[in-house]
Structure 1
Amino acid sequence: GLGLASMVIVFFCNSYYIMILVWGLFYLVHSLTDTLPWATCGHAWNTEQCAEFFHLELCRNASTNASAAAAAGALNFSCTDLANKRSPVIEFWENKVLRLSGDLSEPGEMNWQMILCLVTTWVVVYFCIWKGVKSTGKIVYFTALFPYVVLILLLVHGVTLPGALGGI
Structure 2
Amino acid sequence: MSRRSGEESLGKIEMRSGCEESLSRRASRKASRQLSNKSFRGRPATPDYLPLDLPLTLCVSQNDEPIASLGGLTPTKESRVAALRRRSSMARERWATKMEFLLAVIGYAVDLGNIWRFPSVCYKHGGGAFLIPYLVMLLVGGLPMFYMELVMGQFHRAGCISIWRKICPLFKGIGYGICFICTFIACFYNAIIAHAVYFVFSSIALEVPWKSCNNSWNTPLCSDDVNVSMSKTGQRLSSPSEEYYLYNVLESQKSTGFDDLGGVKPSMALCLALVFTLVYFALWKGPQSSGKVTFTYPGNVGMVDNGR
The reply to whether TM is greater than 0.5 is yes
| 1:91 maps to which of 226, 243, 267 | 243
Which has the larger share of strand? 1
Tell me: higher relative CO, structure 1 or 2? Use CA pairs within 8 A at least 6 residues apart: 1
**TM-score normalised over the length of structure 1:** 0.64
| Corresponding residue of 1:14 | 186
For the pair shown, the structure with the greater C-alpha radius of gyration is 2
| Corresponding residue of 2:214 | 42
User: Does the 8 A contact of 1:99 with 1:111 survive in 2?
Assistant: no
Using a 3 Å threshold, how does the CA distance of structure 1 residues 10 and 29 change in structure 2: closer, same or farther?
same
| Corresponding residue of 1:74 | none
Secondary structure of 2:232's counterpart equals helix
- 5+ residue gaps, structure 2: 1-172
| Corresponding residue of 2:274 | 120
User: Does the 8 A contact of 1:99 with 1:108 survive in 2?
Assistant: no
RMSD: 2.7
| 2:197 maps to which of 8, 19, 25 | 25
**TM-score normalised over the length of structure 2:** 0.37
Deviations for 1:52-72, whole angstroms, at most 9, x for unmatched residues?
Answer: 224428x8xxxxxxxxxxxxx
**Paired-residue identity, %:** 26
Which has the larger share of helix? 2
User: Does the 8 A contact of 1:30 with 1:36 survive in 2?
Assistant: yes
| Misfit runs of 4+, over 6 Å | none
How many residue pairs get matched? 130
User: Does the 8 A contact of 1:128 with 1:136 survive in 2?
Assistant: yes
- 5+ residue gaps, structure 1: 60-78, 155-168
Measured after TM superposition, the shift of residue 47 of structure 1 is 1.8
| Corresponding residue of 1:110 | 264
Secondary structure of 1:56's counterpart equals coil
User: Does the 8 A contact of 1:54 with 1:82 survive in 2?
Assistant: no
| Corresponding residue of 1:64 | none
